[in-house]
């Protein structure tokens, strides 16, 4: 049983119980404003819970399970985020540095693969981080990886 249905049933039971209790309690008195207002509030709460119940039932009806037959890695590579595309365009100059064998971008992380340790390693890595940060206006982490 769904939680929405349970809430709806509890609200209906509470409305009926409070209505019967108030009728018994105030039947001898002439002031019926208080029981009428309390029953109206209970009915309003039932109406809201019923609306939530109907909406959730329609959402569950329209939900269709999706088959995940697409290779997630290929899909991510082909699509890529806009940050990754911006970083790739901005850091394209890294391909012109002879010591850099490859570079890979994942989200806001940049991995630089060196075939030999360049003399200006401590200038290349911070420069790539600053260029990337300016390009996407978000922190960029640059990791230098050497070949084994």
Instruction: Answer yes or no: CATH 3.40.50 is held by domain 72-146.
Output: no
Contact between 106 and 84 (Cβ < 8 Å): yes
pLDDT in tens, 85-133: 899 999 999 988 888 888 899 888 999 998 888 888 899 999 999 999 9
Tell me whether strands 100-106 and 109-114 are parallel, antiparallel or unpaired.
Answer: antiparallel
Q: Which pLDDT belongs to residue 61?
A: 55
Distance CA 52, CA 75 (A): 36
Distance CA 117, CA 64 (A): 53
Of the pLDDT bands very low, low, confident and very high (cuts 50, 70, 90), residue 66 is very low
- For the chain, the domains span 3-62, 72-146
């Amino acid at each position: 049983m769904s939680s929405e249905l349970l809430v709806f049933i509890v609200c209906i039971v509470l409305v009926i119980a409070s209505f019967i209790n108030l009728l018994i309690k105030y039947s001898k008195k002439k002031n019926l404003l208080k029981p009428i207002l309390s029953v109206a509030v209970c009915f309003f709460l039932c109406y809201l819970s019923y609306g939530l119940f109907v909406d959730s039932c329609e959402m569950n009806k329209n939900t269709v399970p999706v088959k995940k037959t697409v290779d997630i890695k290929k899909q991510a590579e082909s699509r890529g985020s806009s940050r990754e595309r911006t970083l790739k365009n901005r850091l394209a100059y890294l391909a012109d540095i002879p010591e850099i064998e490859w570079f890979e971008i994942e989200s806001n992380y940049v991995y630089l693969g060196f075939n030999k340790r360049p003399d200006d390693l401590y200038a290349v890595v911070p420069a790539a981080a600053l260029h990337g940060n300016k390009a996407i206006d978000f922190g960029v982490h640059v990791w230098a990886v050497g070949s084994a």
